[in-house]
Chain A
């Protein structure tokens, strides 16, 4: 436990020395202020086209940010040889990995909190109104996205040999999960029997953190009928208390699974080295 805390502390320290973190901080702050400007033109509470485009903007930036910061941090360990050194110490791989994860989460969540905090204060000072409910939902949406994509980033950091590889894979994963996702699914599912499409689509949606977090927020924002008659049960279910709980469970399962796999790979490599 204390090992894990040490690793996390070091990660936070290194994280905030990293110029990347600050460039993302500035980028995200500017970005959140522009979100505020967009939202100020919106007179409608609940889900509307404007909220939709705000969600899309967040979906473009945050996954990319967490993928970069997360995967670089792990590949740096390999490139700079600090992992080789740490391997000789009595430090568990699990503690190391968890420490890394928590440290990086703190860095990323700090960036997000800064951006949202700034946006909130400017909102109040300028007198533009941002509904508290929407604000909180957006904040949690962003945190959820960052935490899930950080788990993906650890995967990338594990599989990539160096930073360049990590960069390439990160961009690829980002493009695949955020932009090309519907295109690829529509193309592939088109070849399958009609009745398979919906169940497969649902399964794939659960595999893509960007998608399931987005859908959860869309429904929570009251875009009840936006998913159409095909998914009315979903809407009812997500609005109920068990919906939020199951979402949380799914979220945890996702994190635990990724972290376990990543740990296992590192442990195997460690024992072979």
Chain B
């Protein structure tokens, strides 16, 4: 199934890149104010911008323009899905230095490779960048000291036409530094270093972006008061890496299948205080949620499925872990030097529970037996024994130092959130399940019944 997912992902990437080549091949023409005559040579976009007055709207009609361009007055630049801006210089393809600039519907190809190379560089406020399809050999969109900007529906991907690159050589998809109050929504980012990198920027909205095949999906440092909501990350090394922040909301995100790296996590929280992590779905990662040096956070209503380690605490104290669902995690919880976390009302699929007063919570507390974790942390090869009957037998005998075990004071009887449908099971439904089951079951019963009757009745 892993192979199948990888295939789907490849097809997806091919689709994305294929999209570009199709876009480039078609020719489309429309203009409002500036008609650009078609020459054999590729027209320079900078010439057009230099001729425009502040407040003008430029509609690009040619299929190709050459970069780089610097926009230093308030303009609206509108392309179409067939307009391509090619830049093979080291400077950014588009540099925006004036407030209130809007750029949309342009394909941008930043061919120059290198640490400093960037497709779009924003150094002004209230800039809107929408529907850009960026292929780059450096960074995607860079915001420096830019406030109140909107980055929406952009598609940023690493340019593989000049061969493959190691992750260290790549740039980030969207990269913010000292840029507050910006909105980043509905962008698709694939195969970059960090999908969205946020540094020293406050009060951002990171909403419904999709990030694939990058190192960290969302990587943030010092971004107090930011909302990270509804993003999807798959096949990255780590879904969201959140460091050194306060009052952040991380909600309704989905981070799945991040396990190809030995240190990959769904959500990593390092030095995070007073933040809320809720309703995220975290499936099939090495570590679902990792908390280090973090306190007074509230983690609730997350679905943590099929991770190798469900939740891991390192020096994390006074957090509230409530109403989460832990299903089929090999090691449900791991804690080092982390006392006084309040863990309650979570659903643990392997907990023994009993509800006597029908409030939906178990009266028996659930302590997670660390025997198996200790066993496989010494010798990972023993992972083959996962949930083997003999291991439950062995762990049952291990009762050492129960007070230090991670304990849920009152586990839930049922799932807190609707179950995540596993893609491995859901894709095989031809007949209506019930009929099919009925047919099989009746056949089995009939055949066995007949065999018994026949063999008892027959004469030798």
- On A, residues with C-beta under 8 Å from B are 9-10, 12-13, 15-17, 43-50, 52-53, 55-56, 59-60, 106, 110-111, 113-114, 116-121, 123-124, 129-136, 139, 178-183, 186, 189, 194, 197-198, 201-202, 205, 211, 214-215, 218, 221-232, 235-236, 239-240
Contact = CB atoms under 8 A, between A and B. Distances in A.
Contacts of A43: 414-415, 419
B424 A114 contact: no
A239 B4 contact: yes
Most buried by A among B306, B386, B389, B447: B389
Given A49-B327, A211-B388, A228 B308 contact: yes
Contacts of A179: 389-390, 393
B389 A114 contact: no
B294 interface: no
Given A45-B426, A132-B433, A230-B381, A224 B415 contact: no
B308 A117 contact: no
Given A201-B384, A225-B330, A230-B381, A113 B1 contact: no
B416 to A, nearest CB: 11
A69 B379 CA distance: 38
Interface residues of B, number: 67
Given A44-B419, A124-B438, A132-B437, A227 B2 contact: no
Interface of B is mostly: helix
29 contacts: A13-B456, A17-B456, A44-B327, A44-B419, A45-B419, A46-B422, A47-B422, A48-B328, A48-B349, A113-B444, A120-B441, A120-B442, A120-B445, A124-B438, A124-B441, A132-B440, A134-B425, A139-B444, A182-B385, A183-B390, A198-B381, A211-B384, A222-B424, A225-B306, A225-B330, A226-B387, A227-B330, A228-B376, A239-B2
Contacts, number: 214
A217 to B, nearest CB: 11
Given A52-B350, A225-B259, A44 B415 contact: yes
B36 interface: no
B60 to A, nearest CB: 47
B383 A116 contact: no
Interface of A is mostly: helix
A44 B444 contact: no
B384 A231 contact: yes
A129 B387 CA distance: 24
B374 to A, nearest CB: 12
B448 interface: yes
A-B CB proximity, top 3 nearest: A120-B441, A117-B445, A117-B444
A114 B451 CA distance: 10
A94 B306 CA distance: 47
B284 interface: yes
B387 A239 contact: no
B283 to A, nearest CB: 9
Contacts of A44: 305, 327-328, 349, 415, 419
A134 B424 CA distance: 11
A13 B424 contact: no
Contact of A186 (B350, B380, B382, B445): B382
Given A44-B328, A44-B415, A228-B330, A236 B426 contact: no
